[in-house]
Amino acid sequence: MFIFEWIGKKILNFLNNFGLITRFFLTALKWLFRKPFRWKILVEQMVKVGVETLPVALITSGFTGMIFVVQLYLALKSFGLEAAVPAGLALAVIRELAPVLAGLVMAGRVGAAMAAELGSMRVTSQIDALKTMAVDPIHYLVTPRIFATVVMMTAITTITDFTGIFGGYVVGTVAFDLNPYQFYQDVINILEPWDIISSMIKGAVFGFFISTISCYMGFNSKGGAEGVGEATTNAVVTSMIVLLIVDYLLNLILW
Amino acid sequence: MIEIIDLHKKLGENDVLTGVNLSIKKGETLTIMGQSGCGKSVLLKHLVGILKPDKGTIKIDGIDIVNDKRIRLSDIRKKFGVLFQNSALFDSMTVWENIGFMLKEHKKLPDSKIKKIVTEKLALVGLKDIEDKSPHELSGGMQKRVALARAISMEPEIVLYDEPTTGLDPIMAEIINELIISLSKKLSITSVVVTHDIRSAYEISDRIAFLYGGKITQLGLKEDIKHTTDPKLRQFLDGSATGPIKL
């Protein structure tokens, strides 16, 4: 009996949180189309999200492309299939590695920062202060963050698509003597426009989930420093798990 | 005029407010006293619509801010200035951005005009030349005064003070008390103060209310409250550990 009670409570808790996050996002979405448009905050957030994420995302995707080519070359060489390395690299990076790695970096850096900032504002009454000043805190704090993250995540995913392939290209042509022109041609030939578009869609969807979950966790944090820490950890862990689940679902839908 | 009618609020398992009835007259300074955790700040949050009551209502100048669906809470909130216990200054903004926040949001004034008003408000609370500082560069007392300048930036009709002297040294507490008195006189503000600082309450109040067990159990002019014979209020005012109030 105890196990069923436990499972039931967990399911109810999940559904409750799912409903609350959905309502939270719908409120943020409603404010996107209402005046005043907060362009200044939006641009500030886009710069912040980009600056925080891009360098780490570039390093991660570049090195992952390099490592991927090393392993792929060694694996395919034993079958005499090393010519398939560029195509394998391009598909893996664009369809999977670039958006997922950019998403995980985004969750770790931007998600944590958003949850911590909003959590800190919650426990020091700054969010209540906004309300008393007749400013809706979701409009002021959350809507620009979600929108900025979606836009920047799309852009960063596109950039990491290319750095990932470039990393693999450098290792493939320098370390394994693959023909540079043939490498380039193989990459171009295997890729379809839809691969790039779907990679961008993945990035945008990941950005949406990361920012919504992180803002929600921070916005609803309780207690003092401990509550902010808990909200930050929950934001990162939940964002990463949701990102991987959504990634699987998107793979079923997009290809 | 503020009317609080049969206000009930439960937070978690605790019945915090169990039928608060209170009228606050225009232009007066009313202090709500009570033990720590008795629901003073919760009551204050209801006045400005941050919390919604489980039962009962609040009327501001005759407008029911709880049940009247036609009113916009943001319009009502513009009548208020709030001084939070921990100042609640926006730490990502400078002093002038904090004080000028509402002017920028609601009056759409140019920065030059906002800066001028900010300087005037800072002078009212006895500060100058700190416009470009960040809140974390200021002492606790200065933060409180900046928060007060922010609270009066839109020249509100009503100012709510949540524990205005808590955490301050006696001299700074006295400065804040004098500021509350002078601002309410100069700007004809209705002031609602929540505190457990008895000295401060005697100094700034016209009337004092005592919140106990989720209800206002005593209400009167400060001179009457000073000489009360009610055992619970007496114990609270005397700061006695023994008496009818059980901890």
Domain count, chain B: 1
Does residue B2 sit within a domain?
A: yes
Average pLDDT over residues A113-118: 96
Mutate to test the interface with B, among A125, A130, A228 (most CBs of B within 10 A): A125
Strand (E) or helix (H) holding B31: strand B29-33
Alpha helices in A98-192 (DSSP H): 98-106, 112-123, 126-132, 137, 143-174, 180-190
Question: Using the beta-carbon criterion (under 8 Å), do A136 and B80 form an inter-chain contact?
Answer: no
Does residue B142 sit within a domain?
A: no
| A2-42 confidence digits (pLDDT tens) | 889 999 999 999 899 889 999 999 998 888 888 888 889 99
| B77-125 confidence digits (pLDDT tens) | 999 999 999 899 999 999 999 999 999 999 888 999 999 999 999 998 8
Q: Is the pLDDT of residue B170 over 70?
A: yes
**pLDDT score, position B18:** 94
Q: Tell me if A211 sits within 8 A of A115, measured CB to CB.
A: no
| A224-252 confidence digits (pLDDT tens) | 899 999 999 999 999 999 999 999 999 99
pLDDT confidence bin for B247, thresholds 50/70/90: low
Does residue B50 sit within a domain?
A: yes
- What residue in B sits closest to A122 (Cα-Cα)? B88
A185 touching chain B per CB within 8 A: no
**CA distance to partner chain A, nearest, from residue B117 (Å):** 17
Does residue B205 sit within a domain?
A: yes
Q: What is the mean pLDDT of chain B?
A: 91
Question: Using the beta-carbon criterion (under 8 Å), do B50 and A126 form an inter-chain contact?
Answer: no
**CA distance to partner chain B, nearest, from residue A152 (Å):** 22
Does residue B229 sit within a domain?
A: yes
Q: Is the pLDDT of residue B246 over 80?
A: no
**Nearest Cβ partner for A132 among B82, B91, B106:** B82
| A203-222 confidence digits (pLDDT tens) | 999 999 999 999 999 999 98
A220 touching chain B per CB within 8 A: no
Token pair 């792929």 in the structure block, residue: A72
Does residue B47 sit within a domain?
A: yes
DSSP state of B22: E
Q: B interface toward A at CB cutoff 8 Å?
A: 45, 48-50, 74-75, 77-78, 80, 82, 84-86, 88-91, 101-102, 105-106
Q: What is the mean pLDDT of chain A?
A: 93
| A148-180 confidence digits (pLDDT tens) | 999 999 999 999 999 999 999 999 999 999 999
Does residue B64 sit within a domain?
A: yes
pLDDT confidence bin for B53, thresholds 50/70/90: very high
**pLDDT score, position B168:** 82
| A40-89 confidence digits (pLDDT tens) | 999 999 999 998 889 999 999 999 999 999 999 999 998 989 899 999 99
Q: Is the pLDDT of residue B138 over 80?
A: yes
CATH of the domain at B23: 3.40.50.300
Does residue B49 sit within a domain?
A: yes
Q: Is B140 exposed, middle or buried (0-12, 13-18, 19+ CB in 10 A)?
A: middle
113-142 of A, contacting B, C-beta below 8 A: 120-121, 124-126, 128-129, 131-136
Q: Is the pLDDT of residue B73 over 90?
A: no
| B145-165 confidence digits (pLDDT tens) | 999 999 999 999 999 999 998
Provide the domain limits for residue B196. 1-77+187-241
Question: Using the beta-carbon criterion (under 8 Å), do B86 and A124 form an inter-chain contact?
Answer: yes
* Neighbour tally for A74: CB within 10 Å: 11
